[in-house]
């Protein structure tokens, strides 16, 4: 690992993106004998795993370039329940026992390709008036998240065995898969949240390009 690097990391579950940055910074600072400059190029939710691009030193100035690239995810959507955060970390509530058919699932997924409109989850790293939305949510402050237009280049059904839908989705930067999962559930006449999420590609880079193993805790 060099002072000015682009690192490809396979983020484990239960770790924040800022935690990844902190651990890389600690390891690089120890190696250099001085405080290292380290940044990420787009967050992954704590429950999610997969490819993160970390920049160090002079490469930090290029972080915005990497953050705007398209991404590919594999996700598991659970029907019939909602989550306050859209993922396993929230309060899970049973909503419906409706069991959509495989044909209905395929038809609905087709509706979510191309340009779509999303309202990002309040439990996100988006800044509202200078403060992270998830911090406002934890304080019980209600905010209106602005809608955004994103692109879904492809949305493939891997498997459907009620209540779980497994998909592979190729999206533009700024797309929230948690929101996509919830919107798919609503379109099916039920509810849903994202139980598993793994980022497998960023532009042409994939998990085969992982170049750095995270140091152990402690």
**CA atoms of 110 and 192, how far apart (whole Å):** 17
Other C-beta atoms within 10 Å of 9: how many? 22
Q: What is the pLDDT of residues 114-129, one digit of tens each?
A: 999 998 776 666 676 6
Domain spans, the chain: 6-68+204-209, 71-202
Query: Is the distance from CB of 24 to CB of 7 less than 8 angstroms?
Result: yes
Please name which of 169, 203, 199 lies closest in space to residue 50, comparing C-alpha atoms.
199
Which residues have a catalytic role annotated? 45
Query: Residue 80 carries which DSSP code?
Result: T
CATH number of the domain located at residue range(s) 71-202 in this protein: 3.30.2350.10
Please name which of 126, 121, 122 lies closest in space to residue 138, comparing C-alpha atoms.
122
* Tokens describing residue 178: 């948690």
pLDDT of residue 215: 64
Q: What is the pLDDT of residues 50-81, one digit of tens each?
A: 999 999 999 999 999 999 999 999 999 999 99
Its pTM stands at 0.90
pLDDT of residue 122: 67
pLDDT at 135 over 90: no
In this predicted model, which residue has the larger pLDDT, 217 or 147? 147
Q: Give me the phi and psi of 195, to 5 degrees please.
A: -95, -30
**CA atoms of 114 and 77, how far apart (whole Å):** 20
pLDDT at 107 over 90: yes
Q: Which helix (H) or strand (E) is 186 found in, with range?
A: helix 177-187
pLDDT of residue 11: 95
């Amino acid at each position: 690992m060099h002072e000015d690097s682009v690192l490809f990391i396979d983020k484990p579950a239960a770790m924040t993106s800022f935690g990844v940055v902190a651990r890389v910074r600690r390891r690089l600072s120890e190696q250099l004998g001085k405080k290292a400059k380290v940044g990420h190029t787009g967050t992954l939710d704590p429950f999610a795993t997969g490819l993160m691009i970390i920049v160090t030193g002079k490469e930090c100035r290029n972080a915005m370039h990497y953050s705007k690239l398209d991404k590919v995810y594999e996700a598991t959507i659970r029907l019939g329940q909602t989550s306050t955060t859209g993922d396993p970390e929230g309060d899970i509530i049973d909503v419906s026992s409706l069991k959509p058919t495989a044909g209905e699932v395929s038809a609905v997924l087709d509706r979510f390709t191309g340009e779509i409109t999303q309202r990002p989850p309040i439990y996100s790293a988006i800044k509202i008036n200078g403060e992270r939305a998830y911090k406002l949510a934890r304080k019980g402050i209600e905010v209106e998240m602005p809608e955004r237009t994103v692109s879904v280049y492809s949305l493939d059904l891997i498997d459907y065995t009620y209540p779980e839908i497994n998909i592979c989705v190729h999206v533009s930067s700024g797309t929230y898969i948690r929101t996509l999962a919830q919107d798919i559930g609503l379109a099916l006449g039920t509810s849903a949240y994202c139980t598993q999420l793994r980022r497998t590609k960023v532009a042409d880079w994939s998990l085969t390009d992982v170049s750095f193993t995270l140091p152990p805790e402690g």
